[in-house]
Structure 1
Amino acid sequence: MMQPRRLLAATAIALLVGASAACADEASGFAADGRLDVVTAFYPLQFLSERIGGDAVAVTELTKPGAEPHDVELNPRQVGAISDAGLVVYLSGFQPAVDEAVQQEAANKAFDAGSVVELLAAADGHEHAPGEEEHAEEGKDPHVWLDPVRFATITDRLAERFGQADPARAATYTERAKTLHTELDALNTEFATALKTCERRELVTSHTAFRYLADRYDLTEVGITGISPESEPSPKHLAHVAEEARETGTTTIFFETLVSPKVAETIAREVGAKTAVLDPLEGLTEPDADYFSVMRSNLTALTSALGCTS
């Protein structure tokens, strides 16, 4: 029979071994159950990670559902999650706090979704009125996920990065990405078909978030505000947007789910238009929604507002 002191020593050693193994798993970027530990910056990247990873990954999102992601701030626990992750999926230039944490804590285990596709230059999204000062916004437009074609490319490259982080399941990640790519191709076909023949091709939006979508389907976006939804449009710019809306016969002024609709409603009243939601998919507000359901709701709103006939 084992003596009490030996029993205590054996127990202590077992506990230390277990703790060391747990720390090793955490340090290696895998959860205790063997899943790859993935941290994502905001919803579209969470969606991709969960679809590609399936039950082989444990996904943590840094932006809470329904929160505005542009100006997210991180708490110490979230910074710790970035440090411990096996892979961090983010989009450089979109969330400064996330960029900083990735640079400091996870530079060698991060996937920048904007680095694998061509990004459009940031712009204020409208033609300027005579005498109106032009002031292009710096950097790139981050809203690349609203173009299903570019999003499909990101899907493929992210699956490759998953495979690098978790080689034993690389083939599984690749197969899931192929399935998702096919679904995104089908979504692109739906948009292209539905938006091919329309009475109008200009969309007036409260926030210049839809340039990738407009660029893909030969539309023109007129933004009330720029890339940042919190920027304040000048009275001259508001008057110019209203004038463009009248000239193009705009029947709908779009606002988004996470930003106040007041300015869009003001423009709509002035030009005799209605308002409708066009969701930039920066964060979900409905628990049963996902990327595809929101994009198809956007397509329904666009075809109605633009007078499209397929």
Structure 2
Amino acid sequence: MNVRRQISTAAVAGVSVLGLLALSACSTSSGARTADGRLRVTASFYPLQFLAEQIGGKHVEVSNLTKPGVEPHDLELKPKQTAQLGESGAIVYLKGLQPAVDAAVEQSGVENVADAASLTRLEAHGNEVDGHHHTTGDNHSGHSGEEGANDPHIWLDPVKFAEVAKGVGKTLAKADPAHKADYRKNTDALVTKLNRLDTDFRDGLKNKASDTFITTHAAFGYLAERYGLTEEAISGIDPESEPSANRIKDLHTLAAEHHVSTVFFETIANPATAKALAGDLHLKTDVLDPLEGITDTSRGKDYFGVQRANLAALQKALGSK
């Protein structure tokens, strides 16, 4: 998925010569387990860390390559982190989201790898195309600002996230067959909770005054499709892309036509453009969290807490009853 801004060849490679040597050495070592016998699992960013922890429970030690507050898309790995990958008993990542991680995983030599992008269907939702954004809840649009680009934000759709959870559970069971029954039990429990969250979104957004919301960037395409909403993003899938003058003009029109009350921004990305647009249109602002990381400013302590805060924010903005 080429959905991010241009990254230098060195960054895409993501691994120095020293790091590659460390990876090849560690991949054949016995470092896949901790001193007390737990399986070492490396996750590329928060949603996948959450899955690994929920499913692995007491049998795993999970490390996250992306620190809280860091944009996952901007991650560049240090040699120590590439070595950490090689020492893993299992890796959980999303191919195409973080080029540096993709390169390091390929070089790691680790056998048990769960690629979230292969565990559910990815779709193209929308960047800016000639000043127009195409992301709708009716699933009839699939335009993207970059040819062949797919939207990576599958974790914001509880149904797709449940599909990924099942695949992660199978990977952990393969890596640590002695605890296969526990991994299956934990996966089933997590999927049940995700199904309940899906029901809450469906019921909570059933009766609403509007179906259109404006966000900083196009992170909520899967969520919009799932619950019959229309996401209009100021920028495209890349949170750091700048909107065109035509796009801003279109948003002015869309906000009036669809009775938009709120412009959403997020805690990690710069909210300046969203707040400026809201000021111009005399609209409210609020947070809709793409859940790429948990920080002290997050509206929840974990995935479920933040998702329920997102639901409450959408209900308020869309006039749900």
Please give the range of the TM-score, normalised by the shorter of the 2 chains: 0.7 to 0.9
C-alpha separation between the residues in 2 aligned to 1:40 and 1:72?
Answer: 13
Q: Which moved more, 1:254-263 or 1:113-122?
A: 113-122
Residues 96 and 102, structure 2, Cα contact 8 Å, conserved in 1: yes
Q: How far apart, CA to CA, are the structure 1 residues paired with 2:123 and 2:294?
A: 24
Q: Give, in whole Å, the separation in 2 of the partners of 1:272 and 1:61.
A: 40
C-alpha distance in structure 2 between counterparts of 1:248 and 1:135, whole Å: 24
CA distance 1:308–1:146, change in 2 (3 Å): same
SS at match of 1:85: coil
| Structure 2 residue matching 1:141: 3-state secondary structure | coil
Q: Match of 1:151, as an amino acid?
A: F
Task: Give the TM-score, by structure 2 length.
Answer: 0.84
C-alpha RMSD of matched pairs (Å):
2.2
Q: Which amino acid aligns with 1:247?
A: E
Do structure 1's residue 192 and structure 2's residue 195 form an aligned pair?
no
- Which 10-residue stretch deviates more, 261-270 or 35-44? 261-270
1:69 aligned residue = 72
Find the aligned partners of 1:300 and 1:288 in 2 and give their Cα distance: 12
Flag structure 1 segments of 5+ consecutive residues without an equivalent.
1-22
| Distance in 2 of aligned mates of 1:194 and 1:118 | 25
Residue 230 (str. 1) matches residue 233 (str. 2): no
Question: C-alpha distance in 1, partners of 2:109/2:213?
Answer: 39
Change (3 A) 1:124 1:299: same
Q: Does 236-245 or 280-289 show the bigger shift?
A: 280-289
Q: Does 1:212 align with 2:239?
A: no
Amino acid at match of 1:82: L
Where in structure 2 are the equivalents of 1:102-141 lying within 5 Å? 102-106=105-109, 108-124=111-127, 128=131, 135-136=145-146, 138-141=148-151
Contact 1:45/1:89, CA 8 A, preserved across alignment: yes
TM-superposed CA distance for 1:270, in Å, is 1.5
Shift of residue 116 of structure 1?
1.1
Q: Alignment identity in percent?
A: 45
Between Structure 1 and Structure 2, which shows a larger proportion of helix residues?
A: 1
Q: Residue 91 of structure 1 corresponds to which residue in structure 2?
A: 94
Task: Give me the whole-angstrom Cα distance separating, in 2, the residues matched to 1:24 and 1:125.
Answer: 42
Measured in 2, the distance between the counterparts of 1:127 and 1:302 equals 28
Distance 1:250 1:122, change over 3 A: closer
User: How far 1:120 moved relative to its partner?
Assistant: 1.2
Native 8 Å contact 1:71 1:96 kept in 2: no
- 2:311 aligned partner: 299
Runs of 4+ residues over 2 Å off in structure 1 = 23-28, 106-109, 125-130, 133-139
Does residue 1:165 correspond to 2:168, yes or no? no
Structure 2 unmatched ranges of 5 or more: 1-25, 134-142
Distance of 1:196 and 1:126 partners within structure 2: 30
Deviations 1:275-294, CA, capped at 9 Å, x for gaps: 00000000111396100000
What residue is the counterpart of 1:272 in the other structure?
282
TM-score, normalising length: structure 1: 0.87
Moved more, 241-250 or 141-150: 241-250
Distance of aligned partners of 1:268 and 1:153 in 2 relative to their CA distance in 1, 3 Å threshold: same
Aligned match of 1:221 in 218, 224, 231?
A: 231
Which of the two has higher C-alpha Rg? 1
Indicate if the aligned counterparts of 1:252 and 1:276 stay in contact, CA closer than 8 A. Answer: yes
- Provide the residue aligned with 1:18 in structure 2: none
2:203 and 2:272 map into 1 onto residues whose CA distance is 33
SS of 1:88's partner is: strand
In structure 2, the CA distance between the partners of 1:103 and 1:69, relative to structure 1 (3 Å rule), is same
Aligned partners of 1:225 and 1:232 also within 8 Å: yes
Shift of 1:136: 3.9
Q: Aligned ranges for residues 18-37 of structure 1 at < 5 Å?
A: 26-27=29-30, 29-37=32-40
Match of 1:175 in 2: 185
Q: Which amino acid aligns with 1:146?
A: L
CA distance in 2, matches of 1:172, 1:242: 52
> Once structures 1 and 2 are overlaid, which stretch shifts more, 183-192 or 153-162?
153-162
In structure 2, do the counterparts of structure 1 residues 127 and 185 end up closer, same or farther at CA, with 3 Å as the change threshold? farther
Q: 1:101 aligns with which of 101, 104, 120?
A: 104
Cα distance in 2 for residues equivalent to 1:90 and 1:125: 27
> In structure 2, what is the Cα distance between the partners aligned to 1:274 and 1:302?
12
How far apart in 2 are the matches of 1:62 and 1:178?
Answer: 26
* Structure 2 Cα separation of the partners of residues 136 and 282 of structure 1: 22
Q: 1:255 touches 1:277 (CA, 8 Å); kept in 2?
A: yes
